[in-house]
Structure 1
């Protein structure tokens, strides 16, 4: 186990770098709309860049971090959880919303079967790959070494939610149509799910990447967000509520196992 003070300093440097790279790019996107698509994409790689900078002079740690990107020998149930849970949760939320309101679509619009795969691949490469190497690759292990899994998850969740803040200012970005508090609750609650995947997979980063990419893809494909429901946030609120219930249950499980 490393020095606690050194770990916290590294975590602080990681956050400064991740926020600095991302917010600089996203701020540029606000000021230069013509370059917004490129700058927005580059900003998403702030956490990964920060992680790689911090391990650049630690060869053993760098190799271990990168090895976790291809650590595929993990329980099958973890793969299934990462791939199925996001879609199942969103479908359940849409079914409950229909039952509560009597209105609203449940399934995505008809599309060729290759479209979801294309969306998943795009999200994985150009969005998720820039985040998880930092959040779950570097930051989470540092926090887990000093805090219990619940406190580590909640702390990282708050930081992760705050990192997204400039995206709410980008014209045309989907974040602008989502209530910030609802978005923050979703990020903090999902952080407990990521920690559960991380621990049950022995630190492998594959489940986190899969879960993140499936979740983001499903949110975009299914009729969940307010902008595709005439501004109605009911479905999103139900989905976040279900996620919070799952997070609460996982927190109880983590505390019981740590006792």
Structure 2
């Protein structure tokens, strides 16, 4: 049975474990409905709402669904004050230089190595519009995938880590994250349509495991997981599917082994959705 204590003065109410079910339902409901319309009735959807593209409002809403869901739940349980506290997790920037190097050096090397294995280039081809256009896309990417982390690491990870070791929380989130992407593989005109789902799915689980120690090392901060996610969709890195996935599996195995003392115990795991939240479960 779950009990949520009445918030004390200055402390928001604790987001209960059952909220994670609502989080997943809202997230999937938004994304699968918006993208599903274009899969089931592409001609009608295009005529009614316009051709789907990376700049279409539906595309942004579908991508932002994890964050939208997170904000709804945080507002419900914590109110405006709770939302402000939740957003303060963006300012939790302290993390080891080792993890910073992992994000900014190791991840690009993985993509380059994967591309070379498939006889591809070290970097993605520069578009005719010049490097400036690519930099603009890189900046725009900050407001796509990284925004998802408000949900995956903002809500789902801390709730799951109250009840299980971080590695299993990462595996569960990665599995659900991969399934959440599934409709995109049936949407023509996207990069997903050219990929095989299985390596991508395995990659999602692997990435969710990899970001877990980064998330916990920062004390539950959202900045570093967002930067990690940003690197994954950096337009300068070449398309290395599926080789990047298999390299990342090896990297993840090394990372888990090196961090086994914290990955298999809840002792130092971040468990707060809203900093300073009060309440308990039993």
> Shorter-normalised TM-score: what interval?
0.7 to 0.9
- Pairing of 1:42-81 with structure 2 (within 5 A): 42-57=61-76, 58-59=78-79, 61-81=82-102
Choose between structure 1 and 2: higher helix proportion.
1
- Pairing of 1:176-191 with structure 2 (within 5 A): 176-191=193-208
- Bigger RCO (CA 8 Å, 6+ sep): 2
Is 1:221 aligned with 2:236?
yes
1:178-229: CA deviation from partner (whole Å, max 9, x where unpaired): 1110110111000011112101112111111111112112xx43442xxxxx
- Checking the alignment, whether the CA contact within 8 Å between 2:111 and 2:238 is kept in structure 1 is no
Residue 252 of structure 2 aligns with which residue?
Answer: 247
- Pairing of 1:86-165 with structure 2 (within 5 A): 86-95=107-116, 97=117, 103-110=119-126, 112-129=130-147, 131-165=148-182
Residue 9 of structure 2 aligns with which residue?
Answer: none
Give 5+ residue unaligned stretches, structure 2.
5-14, 266-282
Residue 280 of structure 2 aligns with which residue?
Answer: none
- Checking the alignment, whether the CA contact within 8 Å between 2:150 and 2:222 is kept in structure 1 is yes
Q: Structure 2 CA distance, aligned partners of 1:210 and 1:74?
A: 12
1:219-253: CA deviation from partner (whole Å, max 9, x where unpaired): x43442xxxxxxxxxx4222111101111222323
Q: Structure 2 CA distance, aligned partners of 1:160 and 1:3?
A: 28
Q: Structure 2 CA distance, aligned partners of 1:42 and 1:214?
A: 21
**Quick one: which of 214, 219, 229 aligns to 1:202?**
219
1:9-66: CA deviation from partner (whole Å, max 9, x where unpaired): 1111100011111111112333313242321221111100110111113145433321
1:115-159: CA deviation from partner (whole Å, max 9, x where unpaired): 443222111113421x11000111011111111011110011001
| DSSP 3-state at the match of 2:91 | coil
* RMSD, matched Cα: 2.3
Instruction: List structure 1 runs of 4+ shifted beyond 4 angstroms.
Output: 110-113
- Checking the alignment, whether the CA contact within 8 Å between 2:124 and 2:236 is kept in structure 1 is yes
Q: Structure 1 CA distance, aligned partners of 2:38 and 2:247?
A: 34
Between 1:22-31 and 1:203-212, the stretch displaced more is 22-31
Q: Structure 1 CA distance, aligned partners of 2:66 and 2:126?
A: 35
Q: How many residues of Structure 1 are paired with residues of Structure 2 in the alignment?
A: 239
| DSSP 3-state at the match of 1:119 | helix
Larger radius of gyration: 2
